[in-house]
Amino acid sequence: MAKRRFELPGIQDLSKEQEAARALPARGRHLIVGGPGTGKSVLALIRARRHQRQNDDYRFLVFNHLLHRASVQLYGNGLAGETWQSWFRSAFERLAQRPVPLLPPDRHGFEAEDWTRVEEIVQALPPDGKDARRPFLVIDEGQDMPPAFYETLVDLGFEDFFVVADQNQQITELNSSRQQIEARLDLDVDAVVELRRNYRNQYRVAKLARAFYTGDPASPPPELPAGQGGHMPLLYVYPRQKLDVLCRGILTLADRDPRQLIGVIAPNNEVRRRYFDMLRTVDVALDHPRPRVETFHGAHRPEVAFDEGGVLVINAQACKGLEFDTACLADIDEHRVDPRDPDAARRRFYVMVARARERVFLFMKRGAGRAVEEILPRDAETLRREEW
């Protein structure tokens, strides 16, 4: 497979604002705030490397399994990382000598933490058990962990936090605002660093992402990159029966540069399966060997290679913190837009669009999409529409 560049920058490559975050004291509680592409995840991994080189006991925590895989590959050997939920449940059981109490299963069968019972158990623990030294915690996408998570850790005696977050990228129901993280960790003003420069997105991609910014000043959007060139974001409105043509186009795009990684981001499992199956089976004439096509969901967790070209088909919830050369937002008409809270959908699109470094395509079935049209930019210089 063709290799793509996927490695941590050296310290000498950091900007002045990134260096200010990197140089924060090893001990203490710190929050790094910034929009997509500002380098928050990179700084979290550099922080983890600092702890590793100092032989510190640390844990690098992320929201989901796919971001964990990407972080491990970007970091190299030896990252002491886990998903936050897996780590918390094992740490709580070890410290409290009992499993984490859980709520009844939701409609998907998932059992979330019962934070009220968690708090009761923690408050009943003997105080001497909370005095032992706890590991350093480096937390990526910290806005997607609930406030009670941070509060519980402080109550359990954890002292050293390095959290990177952007509340404008919240796409989970249980999440934390910047204010909540600052309050739960009792942060001083000088413990918070804001990142404002976008190092990932090409100008037109960043401009489209900016169109979905909800305007929350707690986490300002990144500055638009210099220059106004690059590929215009395109919305393709296609006939329902022409998914095969659409997928041939994605495979042909991958064939033009086998080193690029294309992310196909779906609104739900049904759309994800539909695109994945079509991309694997559709007949297409290519100049190079057929690109690898992979998917990642639930219990199906292959070893995705982020340093190779190909096509990765995932759900929107799984795209947090990832980076693709090209992002294709599949069947956006199937994204739920609540008229009482359209900003929830805008934040979802803000995240999805910002995954793309160079190009972004949106696909919508003809005759659908009335709800999602309400949040799409109408300026043809921000998003150009093509009807098939």
User: In this predicted structure, what is the pLDDT of residue 7?
Assistant: 84
Question: Does residue 220 carry a pLDDT above 80?
Answer: no
Residue bearing the bigger pLDDT, 168 or 276: 276
- Could you report the per-residue pLDDT of 9-23, keeping only the tens digit for each? 888 899 999 999 999
* Confidence tier at 3 by pLDDT (50, 70, 90): confident
User: In this predicted structure, what is the pLDDT of residue 366?
Assistant: 95
* Confidence tier at 319 by pLDDT (50, 70, 90): very high
User: Which pairing describes strands 136-139 and 161-165: parallel, antiparallel, or unpaired?
Assistant: parallel
The arithmetic mean of pLDDT across residues 252-271, rounded, is: 97
- Are the C-beta atoms of 359 and 231 separated by less than 8 Å? yes
The arithmetic mean of pLDDT across residues 145-157, rounded, is: 96
User: In this predicted structure, what is the pLDDT of residue 1?
Assistant: 64
What is the rounded CA–CA span in Å between residue 14 and residue 43? 9
User: In this predicted structure, what is the pLDDT of residue 172?
Assistant: 66
Amino acid (1-letter code) at residue 195: L
Question: Does residue 107 carry a pLDDT above 90?
Answer: no
Question: Does residue 388 carry a pLDDT above 90?
Answer: no
- Could you report the per-residue pLDDT of 193-218, keeping only the tens digit for each? 999 999 999 999 999 999 999 877 77
User: In this predicted structure, what is the pLDDT of residue 130?
Assistant: 62
Which of 101-110, 269-278, 375-384 shows the lowest mean pLDDT across its residues?
A: 101-110
User: In this predicted structure, what is the pLDDT of residue 4?
Assistant: 85
What is the rounded CA–CA span in Å between residue 315 and residue 264? 8
User: In this predicted structure, what is the pLDDT of residue 286?
Assistant: 97
The arithmetic mean of pLDDT across residues 31-44, rounded, is: 94
User: In this predicted structure, what is the pLDDT of residue 34?
Assistant: 92
User: Which pairing describes strands 58-62 and 192-195: parallel, antiparallel, or unpaired?
Assistant: unpaired
- Are the C-beta atoms of 355 and 326 separated by less than 8 Å? no
Q: Which residue, among 155, 164, 208, 207, has the nearest Cα to 184 in the 3D structure?
A: 155
User: In this predicted structure, what is the pLDDT of residue 170?
Assistant: 72
User: In this predicted structure, what is the pLDDT of residue 256?
Assistant: 96
What is the rounded CA–CA span in Å between residue 279 and residue 273? 10
Q: Which residue, among 176, 141, 150, has the nearest Cα to 65 in the 3D structure?
A: 141
| 3-state SS track over the chain | CCECCCCCCCHHHCCHHHHHHHCCCCCCEEEEEECCCCCHHHHHHHHHHHHHHCCCCEEEEECCHHHHHHHHHHHCCCCCEEEHHHHHHHHHHHHHCCCCCECCCCCCCCCCECHHHHHHHHHCCCHHHHCCCCCEEEECCHHHCCHHHHHHHHHCCCCCEEEEECHHHCCCCCCCCHHHHHHHHCCCHHHEEEECECCCCCHHHHHHHHHCCCCCCCCCCCECCCCCCCCCCEEEEECHHHHHHHHHHHHHHHHHCCCCEEEEEECCHHHHHHHHHHHHHCCCCCCCCCCCEEECECCECCCCCCCECEEEEEEHHHHCCCCEEEEEECCHHHCCCCCCCHHHHHHHHHHHHCCEEEEEEEEEECCCCHHHHCCCCCCCCCCEEEEC
Q: And the tokens for 208?
A: 């489209």
Residue bearing the bigger pLDDT, 337 or 226: 337
For the chain, give the percent of residues with pLDDT over 90: 80
User: In this predicted structure, what is the pLDDT of residue 54?
Assistant: 96
* Confidence tier at 93 by pLDDT (50, 70, 90): very high
User: In this predicted structure, what is the pLDDT of residue 131?
Assistant: 63
User: In this predicted structure, what is the pLDDT of residue 129?
Assistant: 63
User: In this predicted structure, what is the pLDDT of residue 227?
Assistant: 77
- Could you report the per-residue pLDDT of 338-366, keeping only the tens digit for each? 999 999 999 999 999 999 999 999 999 99
Half-sphere exposure of 338 (CA within 13 A, CB side): 7
Look up the pTM and report it.
0.94
> How high does pLDDT run on average in the chain?
93
User: In this predicted structure, what is the pLDDT of residue 92?
Assistant: 96
The arithmetic mean of pLDDT across residues 266-272, rounded, is: 97
- Could you report the per-residue pLDDT of 153-208, keeping only the tens digit for each? 999 999 999 999 998 887 666 789 999 999 999 998 889 999 999 999 999 999 99
